[in-house]
Structure 1
Amino acid sequence: MLTARFKLDREDRVVSFHLDGHAGTAVKGENIICAAASAIAQTAIGSLQDIARIEPDYQAEDGLICCQVSYDREDRDQLIQIASLMASVRIGCMQLEESYGSHYITCLDEY
């Protein structure tokens, strides 16, 4: 099973995400749920770099992708971009869970 953990701050902004495991719906490397979650997360990391112009703390390897950001910035537009991109990973994973079921992907919020 794929587990997606999201750490939220006091303002309900996603501070970090941690996706690990494999959904088990197909042979490793051919799993549509894992591929979708990975694409969502990797696109957000790339967008944090290219759009928000930050260098998030992240790790991506087989069966694991995680990312952490800081909201300790003064640029309001940049803060909105960071919060939106991080929230999009949570939304995308929650949509996968809703579509395919928690047997394959489970999303957990942590405070």
Structure 2
Amino acid sequence: MIQVELYEDAQGLMVGFRVHGHAGFAPHGEDIVCAAVSALTQTAVLGLAEHAGAQPRVDVQEGELSCELPSYEDQGVQLLLKTMVSGLEQIAARYPDYVTLKRISEKGGFGHDVSV
């Protein structure tokens, strides 16, 4: 299963995200769920770096992508992230056995789960 963690500050602004795991919907190279999640998250990272000037800190490992934004208050940055989240929510709704989303708020410290 692909797990998406969406990190927010105390005001509800997105400060980063982490995607990890494998969907397991189909064999490697044929998994449309994995491809869709990868396309959305990688395109968001490119948009943040190339068009929003956000200079994201990105770490890519096998089966994992994390993105941290040192500067995230810009409206364009938030718009890109919200658009990515909208797409991920649609995928999770269509394929709930393969993708989960969790919002994690810094209210009370990061790690406080505010919705699943």
Both structures adopt the same fold (TM-score exceeding 0.5) = yes
Aligned structure 1 segments of 4 or more residues deviating by more than 2 angstroms: 70-73
Corresponding position of 2:110: none
> Following the alignment from structure 1 to structure 2, what is the Cα–Cα distance between the partners of residues 12 and 29?
36
Q: 1:72 to 1:39 in 2, by over 3 A?
A: closer
Corresponding position of 2:98: 104
More off after superposition, 38-47 vs 56-65: 56-65
The alignment status of 1:93 with 2:102, answered yes or no, reads no
Q: Structure 1 residue 72: deviation in Å?
A: 6.4
The residue identity in structure 2 corresponding to 1:65 is L
Corresponding position of 1:76: none
CA offset digits 1:42-100 (Å, max 9, x no partner): 10111111111231001223211110113366xxxxx0011111222222111101112
SS, match of residue 40 in structure 1: helix
CA contact (8 A) 2:14 2:72 kept: no
Q: How many residues align?
A: 105
> Following the alignment from structure 2 to structure 1, what is the Cα–Cα distance between the partners of residues 3 and 72?
28
> Following the alignment from structure 1 to structure 2, what is the Cα–Cα distance between the partners of residues 69 and 87?
14
Which stretches in structure 1 are left out of the alignment for 5+ residues?
74-78
Relative to total residues, which structure has the larger helix share, 1 or 2?
A: 1
> Following the alignment from structure 2 to structure 1, what is the Cα–Cα distance between the partners of residues 31 and 60?
17
SS, match of residue 4 in structure 1: strand
Corresponding position of 2:113: none
Using structure 2 for the length normalisation, give the TM-score: 0.83
Q: 1:55 to 1:25 in 2, by over 3 A?
A: same
> Following the alignment from structure 1 to structure 2, what is the Cα–Cα distance between the partners of residues 98 and 14?
21
The residue identity in structure 1 corresponding to 2:94 is S
Identity percentage of aligned residues: 30
